[in-house]
Chains A and B, each alone.
Chain A
């Protein structure tokens, strides 16, 4: 920045905003070459007008250059001394808005954090809770289920969700209770920690019915079996043919499914939990509880540890 031998002062251009308009005009002109001639015309006009103003400004500035810097230079030293003596006296009040700024900064920061995190966490949490109602599942005509025979039924709870909603139930037709067919439908998820419970007894080597959808996925598979009870491979839980716990760590009986008969077909409804089932078969006395996660007691003093059952909205 050193001046050459011919300059007494450096001639820095004075601040001016006209170049901005000139640049806009130029940009519009170039864009218009691609977009449309109207834009070119407008851009050219803006560029010319602002360019002229800029040039006029420059020539004025050049003519009055000596006038400008000194007033600025004088103003500064004139401004400084009056301030300096005031400073020591005004030291404690130099930043009177300190507290306000602190509070506002923290508050705004908290607001930003909230704006980012609340929707995100809300999404994560809400998605765990919503949209998971049971859908009815058609299990075929009643003739698929001979009386007194357990049928291992594998079905897809929600075809839209696909394979991940495949479940198995142990279904036994108990005969008519009054005029209505009575079924015992047990979930195969152990009531201890959810492992797949296996039948203790011979299983037919071939399924009695296999239903396949258009993509070739097995939608329903029925296999007869003669279990004397059910056992869990993980930690040794044992159940009898009503799903009641005989031995091991399960905290309640196997979960059951509601069912309805529609046009002579067995339709599966939602699942529910039971503590213990009295009597057997079609005389069974079942006290229905809300569906709980495995491992959670549904009656007795421990039940208050888990007041919120599964949330399905």
Chain B
């Protein structure tokens, strides 16, 4: 079925024809003019790739082999262990924005949005772009929507990528190293140290912050100066065993399974944390 082309399609075709004539009349041959630019840029690309490879290798500590991390990360991590309990998985950096998106959608019902929903919507929008934007206008000064979309996309992806890169979980494998700093900053006595290590290992920092480590979740207070409140060892232990009995309505889960011994050590540490760092 052959329909007469619409006026806008005719105008487009006429403009394209004009473009072709313009290029024939006023254009420059691809070689050497444009190809020169292409070649210079390609050379820069290759040099950058080689430079990155060299930096990756030669900043690796020691004899430049092995799993130590240099400026650009380790040459390789340890061998794959499907039964690990201490590894922190991360994707390649260009997937960080998707990775952080998954951390934003914390509610179980919304998980599918972050995994499937948003990426699919983005791809569909990208594919449909030439059919959504049918204006012939190409000047940025006359395309406010396009400029805004571009800026928002760059900002969003940049922020998500950065947040993904710096995301940390308060897990034993990562936070135990902070204990000596706490001892110094809070001037913790010797008997508080085992409690400090337990505190670092037991997931407390998932919701509480302490001297700059950890994250603040579900309204959990910072504990750097909890000892100043004068709650006393017994109340601390009672609270750890069943938080709602001391603070009604508290979302904190019970930690009774740590055992009497460990709970006492934790309480000593908490009571000794009087801030001052």
Contacts and interface: CB of A to CB of B under 8 A. Distances in A.
A227 B172 CA distance: 11
Interface string B102-124: 11011111111011000000000
A164 interface: yes
Given A166-B82, A295-B112, A198 B253 contact: no
B201 A202 contact: yes
Contacts of A196: 83-85, 87, 89
A202 B83 contact: no
Interface of B: 80-89, 99, 102-103, 105-112, 114-115, 169-174, 197-198, 201-204, 206-207, 217-218, 251, 253-259, 262
Contact of B103 (A154, A201, A235, A305): A235
B215 to A, nearest CB: 8
In terms of DSSP, what is the predominant structure of the interface of chain B?
A: loop
Nearest to A196: B84
B102 A193 contact: yes
Nearest to B86: A198
6 contacts: A200-B172, A227-B257, A236-B206, A246-B253, A247-B106, A249-B107
Contacts of A295: 111-112, 115
Q: Which of B111, B207, B258 has the most CB of A within 10 A?
A: B111
A257 to B, nearest CB: 14
A20 interface: no
B223 to A, nearest CB: 16
A182 interface: no
Contacts of B206: 200, 231, 236, 238, 247
A247 B218 contact: yes
B258 A228 contact: yes
Given A201-B203, A250-B108, A295-B112, A228 B171 contact: no
Given A193-B115, A238-B206, A295-B115, A245 B257 contact: no
A163 interface: yes
Contact of B106 (A165, A248, A305): A248
Contacts, number: 137
Interface in A153-178: 154-155, 163-168
A132 to B, nearest CB: 15
Contacts of B103: 235-236, 249
A233 B108 contact: no
B198 to A, nearest CB: 6
Given A163-B82, A202-B201, A236-B169, A297 B257 contact: no
A203 interface: yes
Contacts of B102: 192-193, 234-235, 249
A228 B203 contact: yes
A240 interface: yes
Instruction: Return the 6 tightest CB-CB contacts between A and B, nearest first.
Output: A200-B203, A168-B83, A228-B255, A233-B88, A166-B83, A251-B108
Contact of A229 (B115, B170, B253): B253
